[in-house]
């Protein structure tokens, strides 16, 4: 049974969490996290590499000892280092890490000082009032924990991040597409609309019905068959994701694809237009009475109701039909519109690759530029750079550009500078003035009220050297709630001070979200889509950011890093004047 990269990365992160809870060596913990990040971003499977006898220690952040552990996971299904940790620590400790604001350090504190081993013990400790007696657990922290526990009880079924759902179904989709006679296999639903999380996965196919269904239910990733018929089936994968397959005739494929892509509200609006035009639209096709008018191609659905094709990412009934009627649909951003990436890290802070390796990875993507934005000094856990080290890095970047003069590519000297609690920046202005690009980000004090948090960010924007606000809401999907912010006021400040807002393409962030991207577009605030890359493979995460941007109606003109380097350089310099 093949082991997916995401499953391996999850095991490494789980071990890192347990070691961190125990207070183990910070560098050991970081090594496992960096390895997990590397593996998550790889296009090739670790299992495939092991089977081929390749040297895993050549991968960034993975040494000889860790490569042996990876081979152990793939070949035996065991991870003895993790099994040793879980043998003497309560398994419920990992459940506590789901709570926003409870990182491994605080979970370890709860475990050591209050013997809290899981969510039931935490609820008891909260009821007894002992949690507030711990250092660092103030009233606001405790209130946030209580709120999360209450929301958890009311929450519906869990949703998976889109990238995880994609990774878990890659092999299944590949197997279906490889079957003789298969004509098309397409994921539908919220996944096709580019939503950041999915509840389950819908797959539509045309081809040999019995063969497709048989291949689907017998795939090695399937843990349970939930339903099986002649043309449809439902399964649950090993990782818990439900996947539904529908095999449809070619003449209905376009209609079924539109129907099962959704959203429900969009479909109702389209069907309502059809009724007014005297036709019926459903998953089987387009009909006038008993006569079939079409349905083989998805575009036929829109043409039948007098509309141009509407891209899946826009189908949320948020004005796309009115825009289509009046010829105002946006020409959505595409991956090849981007000229570079404006947020990347190296081994100088918490990245896993050298400056040169990151530059060459950007060159391989035909980028015109890449901004190196290692963390500033306050981020000690990420080995952030002080003024002396940053100036040394600036010199190295200038030297790299000089050595590669004549090329069409530029490395930009940048920094991801922490915004302090009062809105000041973590590095002095004279150092920031030497940089090509400054990304200002919040990495602490997430619990400030909306007024103070918004004012904090706007003060950072006022600094003439700040070009981009990094991952503005600070959310981590499924792990940490976004900061409370006055988005209207924040975007007004960004426009006033000529600052772009970042859309982080990191799958755990996708921050700003789609609605906030559209708000920025409507207010004339530029968006910088960046990967926050910590390894060369992370540059490939840009595709997820593009999907989010498309859901936010963004076009090339709305995005900072679609500009050619001379135009971008002029804009960056104007900010400091």
CA distances for 398 relative to 258, 367, 394, 435, 571, angstroms: 51, 18, 6, 11, 20
CA distance 477 to 197: 9
**Cβ pair 277, 306 in contact under 8 A:** yes
Q: Angle at CA 260, nearest 5°, toward 257 and 261?
A: 75
CA distances for 146 relative to 115, 118, 259, 334, 449, angstroms: 18, 14, 40, 42, 17
Nearest to 1 by CA among 240, 237, 210: 237
Locate all alpha helices (DSSP H) within 115-208, ordered by sequence.
Answer: 119-128, 139-154, 162-177, 189-192
Q: Which two tokens stand for residue 268?
A: 């109702």
SS (H, E, C) 384-424: CECHHHHHHHHHHHHHHHHHCCCCCCEEEEEEEEEECCCCC
Q: Where do the domains of the chain lie, and which CATH numbers do they carry?
A: 5-89 (1.10.150.110), 160-247 (3.30.460.10), 252-325 (3.30.210.10), 335-575 (3.20.20.140)
Q: Which DSSP string do the residues of 245-307 spell out, in sequence order? A: EEE--GGGHHHHHHHHH--HHHHHHHHHHHHHTT-EEETTEEEETTEEEE-SSHHHHHHHTT-
Q: In Å, how far from its chain's centre is CA 10?
A: 15
Between helices 387-403 and 355-364, what is the axis angle to 10°?
50
For the chain, the first-to-last Cα distance in angstroms comes to 60
For the chain, 577 residues long, give each residue's pLDDT as a single digit of tens. 578 888 898 899 999 999 999 888 888 888 898 888 888 877 788 988 998 898 888 887 788 889 999 999 989 888 999 999 888 888 888 888 888 778 888 898 999 899 998 889 998 988 888 988 888 888 888 888 888 888 777 666 678 999 999 999 999 999 999 999 999 999 999 999 999 999 999 999 999 999 999 999 999 999 999 999 999 999 999 888 999 999 999 999 999 999 999 999 999 999 999 999 999 999 999 999 999 999 999 999 999 999 999 999 999 999 999 999 999 999 999 999 999 999 999 999 999 899 999 999 999 999 999 999 999 998 887 789 999 999 999 999 999 999 997 778 999 999 999 999 999 999 999 999 999 999 999 999 888 899 999 999 999 999 999 999 999 999 999 888 899 899 999 999 999 999 999 999 999 999 999 999 999 999 999 999 999 999 898 999 999 999 999 999 999 999 999 999 999 999 999 876 6
**Cβ pair 505, 531 in contact under 8 A:** yes
Q: In Å, how far from its chain's centre is CA 134?
A: 34
**Cβ pair 335, 365 in contact under 8 A:** no
């Amino acid at each position: 049974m093949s082991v997916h990269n995401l499953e391996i990365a999850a095991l490494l992160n789980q071990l890192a969490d347990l070691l961190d809870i125990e207070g183990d060596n910070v560098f050991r913990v970081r090594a496992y996290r960096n390895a997990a990040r590397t593996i998550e971003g790889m296009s090739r499977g670790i299992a495939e590499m092991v089977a081929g006898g390749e040297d895993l220690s050549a991968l960034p952040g993975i040494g000889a000892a860790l490569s042996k552990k990876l081979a152990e996971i793939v070949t035996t299904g065991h991870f003895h280092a993790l099994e040793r940790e879980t043998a003497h620590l309560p398994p419920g400790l990992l459940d506590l890490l789901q709570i926003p604001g409870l990182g491994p350090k605080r979970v370890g504190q709860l475990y050591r000082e209050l013997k809290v081993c899981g969510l039931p013990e935490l609820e008891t400790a909260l009821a007894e009032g002992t949690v507030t007696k711990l250092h660092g657990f103030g009233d606001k922290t405790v209130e946030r924990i209580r709120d999360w526990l209450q929301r958890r009880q009311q929450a519906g079924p869990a949703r998976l991040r889109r990238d995880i759902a994609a990774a878990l179904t890659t092999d299944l989709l590949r197997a279906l597409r490889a079957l003789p006679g298969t004509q098309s296999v397409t994921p539908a639903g919220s996944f096709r609309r580019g939503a950041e999380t999915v509840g389950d996965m819908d797959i539509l196919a045309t081809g040999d019905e019995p063969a497709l269904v048989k291949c689907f239910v017998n795939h090695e990733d399937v843990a349970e068959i939930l339903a099986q018929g002649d043309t449809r089936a439902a399964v649950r994968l090993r990782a818990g994701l439900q996947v539904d397959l529908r095999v449809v005739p070619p003449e209905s494929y376009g209609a079924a694809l539109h129907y099962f892509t959704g959203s429900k509200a969009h479909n109702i609006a389209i069907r309502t237009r059809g009724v007014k035009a005297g036709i019926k639209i459903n998953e089987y096709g387009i009909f006038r009475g008993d006569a079939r008018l079409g349905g083989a191609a998805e575009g036929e659905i829109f043409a039948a109701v007098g509309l141009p094709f509407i891209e899946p990412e826009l189908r949320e009934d948020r004005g796309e039909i009115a825009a289509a009627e009046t010829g105002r649909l946006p020409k959505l951003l595409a991956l090849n519109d981007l000229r570079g990436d404006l947020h990347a890290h190296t081994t100088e802070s918490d990245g896993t690759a050298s400056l040169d390796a990151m530059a060459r990875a950007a060159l391989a993507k035909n980028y015109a530029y890449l901004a190196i934005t290692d963390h500033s000094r306050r981020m000690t856990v990420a080995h952030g750079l002080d003024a002396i080290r940053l100036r040394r890095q600036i010199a190295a970047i200038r030297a790299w550009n000089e050595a590669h003069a004549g090329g069409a590519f530029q490395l930009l000297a940048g920094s991801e500078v922490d915004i302090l609690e009062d809105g000041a920046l973590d590095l002095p202005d004279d150092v920031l003035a030497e940089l090509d690009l400054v990304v200002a980000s919040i990495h602490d004090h997430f619990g400030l009220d909306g007024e103070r948090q918004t004012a904090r960010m706007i003060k950072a924007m006022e600094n003439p050297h700040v070009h981009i606000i990094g991952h503005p809401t600070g959310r981590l999907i499924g792990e940490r709630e976004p900061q409370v912010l006055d988005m209207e006021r924040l975007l007004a400040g960004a426009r006033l001070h000529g600052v772009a807002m970042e859309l982080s393409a990191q799958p755990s962030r996708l921050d700003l979200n789609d609605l906030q991207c559209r708000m920025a577009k409507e207010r004339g605030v530029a968006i910088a889509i960046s990967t926050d890359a910590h390894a060369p493979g992370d540059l490939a995460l840009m595709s997820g950011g593009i999907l989010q941007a498309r859901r936010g109606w963004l076009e090339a003109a709305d995005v900072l890093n679609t500009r050619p380097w001379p135009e971008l350089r002029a804009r960056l310099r104007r900010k400091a004047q």
